[in-house]
Amino acid sequence: MLAAMLSRLARMVVVMLGISILTFLIFFATPGADPAARIAGRNAAPETVAAVRHDFGLDQPIWVQYGAMMRKMFITGDLTSFVNRGEKIVPTLRAAAPVTLSLVAGAAVLWMALGALTGILAAATRGRWPDKMLMGLSMMAVAMPVFWVGEMVNLITQSRLHNTWAFSWVPPLGYVPFTESPLRWALALVFPWLTLAFLYIGLYGRMLRTGIIETYQEDYIRTARAKGLTARRVLLKHATRSAIIPVVIMFGMDFGVLVGGAAVLTEVVFGLNGVGRLTYQALKVLDLPMIMASVLYASFFVVLANAIVDLLCILIDPRMRRK
Amino acid sequence: MSLYESEDPDMTTDLDTPPPAPPAGGDPAPPLGPWRRALRGLASSPAAVLSGLGILLIVLAMALAPAYAKYVAKTDPFRSGLSAKIMIDGTRVPVMQRSTEGLGLGVTPIGPTWGPQYFLGADNQGRDVAARFLYGGQNSLFIAGAATLLCLACAALVGIVAGYAGGAIDAVLSNLIDMIWAFPVYLLAISLSIVMLGKSFDFGPIHLSSSSLILPIVIIGLVYVPYVARPVRGRVIAITNSEFVLAARALGIRPSRILWRHILPNVATTLIVFAPMLMALNIVTESSLSFLSVGVQAPNASWGTILQDGQALLYSRPVVSMAPGIAIMVTVMLLNLFGDVLRDILDPKSVRGR
């Protein structure tokens, strides 16, 4: 088991190294995408471009640039922005992380609870109206772009029905730090949580329902029924328990992706200054070090989440230990 | 398989679709080839027929965009019309109206007239939203479709090469797939867009202008390649190790023939099952990228760019945002519905489950 775990960890390191090189190449070595020209701005004189190239060390060989950037990012931590001169990148990212984490963690609690409820309820009433209604709803949830849901939510809660009793409590868009006021933190995040969770409730509900229905074909379910266990006990104790494993694996990956910045659309629509929005804004002004750092941060989270999920699977499932 | 026996003559009548591809694989030829059987399954499923018709209807409606713009709306939806005026109930009304809220500064585009001109109102540049909506639908569907084909082709290539070659080639390709998959899809797409968009490319004789639709197609097509390539690779490995391929090998059949006759047809079903879901995913991805202004570039429209135009008008003219959003939702739901039926028919595992 230890060997399997160690080899998984070693693979994680290799993948991370590969990602850092790939990201670097996308931004600094794409043919025709001269970072110095980008930084110097449109219609800059050739001398300016040359000066910028020298200033930022872009005239050095590519591997030297890569090494310098990695050193600044991980060892000295003093990587600075190309656009806002003097802005330190590592602290900026660190400041944005709690916003994203609050958003994603809250939404994750919601979507796991409601997704599990949806899946179990639909499986229990398979073929009857609650099942059909829930599956119809989740099909809708999966089909709507998350930023559009967010806009519609804003339209209702911030504008059209804002002055009624139902939504007058909704604070204006933005983030309130938890340390400042836990209540206002939660109030400000209620609708972003619901919006982000909606899609995943649909996804996970459908997945769990399929899983439970498939498990019902297994022999051990028949045995459990033959023993005379109640239908509820069979459903909750036996079928759901094994059907939820793939959902948990999926959860690990989705959580990693979202914390890494995939919640960008939700953050943009609700005006939350999280990692995703930071990346998006850096992209708009082409702040290369900021983009590099946040994309790397993001993919590291994904790789880490994948590795944790795999390690958990090795712990839970003995079949995964031999390889 | 009861479907083989049920050769009832009534059902063949609604199958005047073009002749399906020849039966796959070297299995003993069943009375009905798998492709024909799949077609029959689709035709006999009301959900598949209805969603298929719905998708067809949407495509047809979007194809009418030029006719709508020319004969009904009588505008050019790609030119701004800030000073345009239209006739409503016998009075001439400016398209950009003086704001009545707040200080009365600035202008608000006209709201939905529900008439032939400006049916859904105008956007911030005084352009007819309904006409743009139809043109945008064309682009959204075209981009999603082309990106789907591109993605399936790349995934098939990578998956088959990795799965069939094995060894070092497989190790390199699999790790590369893992690496690309480790990027959050949107961040990867945004990164690629930033590097590629906004300038023109020259590949020898081919010239791509900065507003070309090719770039979003390539970007959206590439980001989901790992998503499909991984299952394709798994399937190729499973087939390569299966007994009938082993038998074919023992008979001395050339590897290229095994690839062509046994592996490709089996991979094809996996690809077909992915197609509608991928198309649905691509529509959402296109709209998201365009919403972040890194997808379709002006002057082209797409459902995503209209959503972006509508963002600034969300509280005053919400219809601009609602129309493309609802269109995306309906199209994606129909595609997913169709895809579900297709998977149930083509995926042998889920057939066994029933």
Cβ contacts of A320 within 8 Å, gap of 6 or more? A4, A310, A313, A314
* Per-residue pLDDT tens over the stretch A119-152: 999 998 888 999 999 999 999 998 999 999 999 9
Lowest mean pLDDT among A46-60, A118-132, B232-246: A46-60
Lowest mean pLDDT among A39-53, A134-148, A153-167, A172-186: A39-53
Break chain A into its structural domains and give their ranges.
Answer: 19-76, 92-321
- Nearest Cβ partner of B329 from A144, A155, A279? A144
Give the integer Cα–Cα distance in Å for A247 and A203: 10
- Beta strands B96-98 and B91-94 are unpaired
- Nearest Cβ partner of B187 from A146, A217, A298? A298
Q: Say yes or no for a CB contact (<8 Å) between A147 and B332.
A: no
Kindly tell me if the per-residue pLDDT of B4 is higher than 60: no
- Taking CB atoms within 8 Å and a gap of at least 24, the contacts of B64-68 are B64/B134, B65/B131, B65/B134, B65/B135, B65/B137, B65/B138, B66/B135, B68/B130, B68/B131, B68/B134
Give the integer Cα–Cα distance in Å for A117 and A123: 10
Instruction: Chain A: give the shortest CA distance to residue B194, in Å.
Output: 7
* Ramachandran sector of residue B105 (left: φ over 0; alpha: ψ -120 to 50; beta: rest): beta
Q: Say yes or no for a CB contact (<8 Å) between B322 and A152.
A: yes
What is the CATH class of B49-67+128-349?
Answer: mainly alpha
Kindly tell me if the per-residue pLDDT of B205 is higher than 80: no
Q: Taking CA atoms, what residue in B is nearest to A266?
A: B288
Break chain B into its structural domains and give their ranges.
Answer: 49-67+128-349
**A80 — pLDDT class (breaks 50, 70, 90):** confident
Instruction: Chain A: give the shortest CA distance to residue B20, in Å.
Output: 31
Q: Taking CA atoms, what residue in B is nearest to A160?
A: B315
Computed on alpha carbons and rounded to an integer, the radius of gyration of chain A in Å comes to 24
- With residue A179 as reference, give the H or E element that holds it: none
Going A152 to A155 to A158 to A163, the CA torsion angle's sign is negative
Instruction: Chain B: give the shortest CA distance to residue A239, in Å.
Output: 15
Give the integer Cα–Cα distance in Å for B172 and B162: 8
**B13 — pLDDT class (breaks 50, 70, 90):** very low
Main-chain dihedrals φ then ψ at residue B85, nearest 5 degrees: -130, 145
Give the integer Cα–Cα distance in Å for B239 and B24: 14
Give the integer Cα–Cα distance in Å for A43 and B150: 35
* Beta bridge partner(s), residue B108: B97
pTM of the model: 0.82
Q: Taking CA atoms, what residue in B is nearest to A292?
A: B191
- Pick from A108, A101, A102, A199: nearest CA to A146: A199
Q: A83, A104, A142, A148: which to substitute to probe chain B, counting the most B Cβ within 10 Å?
A: A148
Q: Taking CA atoms, what residue in B is nearest to A153?
A: B314
Which residues of chain A have a CB within 8 Å of the CB of B207?
A: none
Kindly tell me if the per-residue pLDDT of B126 is higher than 80: no
- Nearest Cβ partner of B194 from A144, A145, A286? A286
Cβ contacts of B322 within 8 Å, gap of 6 or more? A152, B310
Kindly tell me if the per-residue pLDDT of B149 is higher than 90: yes
Instruction: Chain A: give the shortest CA distance to residue B5, in Å.
Output: 26
Q: Say yes or no for a CB contact (<8 Å) between A295 and B191.
A: yes
**B16 — pLDDT class (breaks 50, 70, 90):** very low
* Ramachandran sector of residue B179 (left: φ over 0; alpha: ψ -120 to 50; beta: rest): alpha
Which residues of chain A have a CB within 8 Å of the CB of B288?
A: 145-147, 265
- Tell me if chain A has a CB within 8 Å of the CB of B150: no
The confidence score (pLDDT) of residue B157 equals: 92
- With residue B351 as reference, give the H or E element that holds it: helix B348-352
Mean pLDDT, rounded, of chain B: 78
- What does the block give as tokens for B225? 């390649």
CA distances in angstroms from A262 to A149, A317, B288, listed in the order given:
16, 30, 11
- Nearest Cβ partner of B187 from A142, A145, A262? A262
Instruction: Chain B: give the shortest CA distance to residue A299, in Å.
Output: 5
Which residues of chain A have a CB within 8 Å of the CB of B280?
A: 143
Kindly tell me if the per-residue pLDDT of B22 is higher than 60: no
* Fold of the CATH domain A92-321: MetI-like fold (1.10.3720)
With 0-12 / 13-18 / 19 or more C-beta atoms within 10 angstroms meaning exposed / middle / buried, residue A69 is: buried
- Pick from B326, B329, B307, B328: nearest CA to B317: B307
| Half-sphere exposure of residue B210: CA atoms within 13 angstroms, side-chain side | 10
Kindly tell me if the per-residue pLDDT of B209 is higher than 70: no
Q: A138, A147, A210, A216: which to substitute to probe chain B, counting the most B Cβ within 10 Å?
A: A147
- Tell me if chain A has a CB within 8 Å of the CB of B292: yes
ipTM confidence score: 0.81
- Tell me if chain A has a CB within 8 Å of the CB of B88: no
- What does the block give as tokens for B315? 């509280």
- Tell me if chain A has a CB within 8 Å of the CB of B333: yes
Give the integer Cα–Cα distance in Å for B73 and B93: 15
Q: Say yes or no for a CB contact (<8 Å) between B284 and A155.
A: no
Q: Say yes or no for a CB contact (<8 Å) between A279 and B187.
A: yes
Higher pLDDT, B51 or B201: B51
Question: Which amino acid is residue A292, in one-letter code?
Answer: M
Q: Say yes or no for a CB contact (<8 Å) between B178 and A15.
A: yes
Kindly tell me if the per-residue pLDDT of B23 is higher than 50: no
Helices (runs of H) and strands (runs of E) counted in chain B: 16, 6
CA distances in angstroms from B219 to A218, B81, B196, B224, B275, listed in the order given:
43, 32, 9, 9, 17
Cβ contacts of A42 within 8 Å, gap of 6 or more? none
* Beta bridge partner(s), residue B207: B202
- Tell me if chain A has a CB within 8 Å of the CB of B200: no
